Amino acid sequence: MSDNVANLGGGEQGHPMEFLLAEELNLPTMGETRQGWVIEHRNNAILIDIGAKSEGVISGSELQSMDDETRELLAVGNEVTVYIVNTEDQHGNVVVSYAKAAEELDWTRAEELLASQDVYKGKVIGQNKGGILVKLGQLRGFVPNSQISRRRHFDDNQKNKLINSVIQTKVIEVDRKRGRLILSERAAEKEARQARRAELLASLEEGTVLKGRVINLADFGAFIDVGGVEGLVHLSELSWKRVNAPADILEVGDEVEVFVLNIDQDRERLALSLKRLEPDPWTIIDEYYQVGQLLEATITKLTKYGAFARLDDEYALEGLIHISELSENHVNHPKDVVQQSQTVTVRIIRVDKDQRQLGLSIKQVVSDKFVEADLEKLTTIQD
């Protein structure tokens, strides 16, 4: 056996039984990661028992760059993972690295985070003009400015305020060979918003009243943020009164209370209303409209049995002008008398608050039946 051992170093190919010797002595190989135990601290080195013929040595240069937290992990007796840097240096030592092993494990962890898209909480350790640096184990992940949360309003000089704070991120790129690790705070924030949105949507019920903030206005309605979920108040739900555009009554940033009309869990949509929190004009219609009252109205729709007209006042309620109330003469079809969008004078001839109906008439605008009432009103106006 001793002769075979002596001949192992002879040729380039080595002895055919060399692998058995290496296995028997548990010889380390360069680039290997091993478990070991800290056995001794020296002035400029730490000795690690790696189960081989000699201990592994963490060099003084690596020790100088270690922080206190890492040094505590290397207390005598602790089990650690080390990376084989060199199987034999000029002094015959096996050179190992704790930082390199931790770095390899961290790269593996980063790749797992990229695959799973789990949220990672990391400490901000620095900044530059392009973004901020976040610690992931021994690695330095980079969060570009474009991936920093939009809710953070600061310039390059103010990024220092983030240092030592912990932020939530997601890994969006890993390139171990190039040492490139890119993180995104926005991606993590988006997931958090979606989680809050799903949770809130699941807890909501139709008819609930919520506090919200106006975040955007469009021609067709207003978008309201209610605790992280956006809902739409359609133009028709802004008020019982006539509203030509949302900007007429709302501004971005306004704090409002809204009524939940409808919840679409599948499409994650929320329909809201402002007018449902105001008095319904049909419940107080007697205060505003009386039979015999003259008003201006706009024709909104024509049917074979009459024309619908919207009153040109603050509530803009719609009523029906039956075909028999369009003219003193016989009418074959409402289009023979009125056209859509035409403004006409109408008289209220019926108010039914239970059925939410208004009966209107053009024929009775001039009518002996209402002469006295009209004269009385005219006298009141003149006085």
The pLDDT score that the predictor gives to residue 93 is: 85
pLDDT digits (tens, 9 = 90+) for 91-120: 788 999 998 898 889 999 999 999 999 999
CA dist 229 and 133 (Å) reads 31
The pLDDT score that the predictor gives to residue 285 is: 87
Is 50:4 a contact under the CB 8 Å cutoff? no
pTM for this one? 0.49
Q: Is the pLDDT of residue 3 over 50?
A: no
Q: Show Cβ contacts of residue 41 under 8 Å, excluding neighbours closer than 6 positions.
A: 47, 74, 76
CA distances from 106 to 4, 47, 101, 102 (A): 42, 23, 9, 6
| Domains, the chain, with CATH or none | 2-102 (2.40.50.140), 117-190 (2.40.50.140), 204-277 (2.40.50.140), 282-382 (2.40.50.140)
- Tell me which residue has tokens 């240096």: 89
Mean confidence (pLDDT) of the chain: 85
Rounded mean pLDDT, 235-242: 89
Is 240:278 a contact under the CB 8 Å cutoff? yes
Residue 7, CB-side half-sphere exposure with 13 Å CA sphere: 9
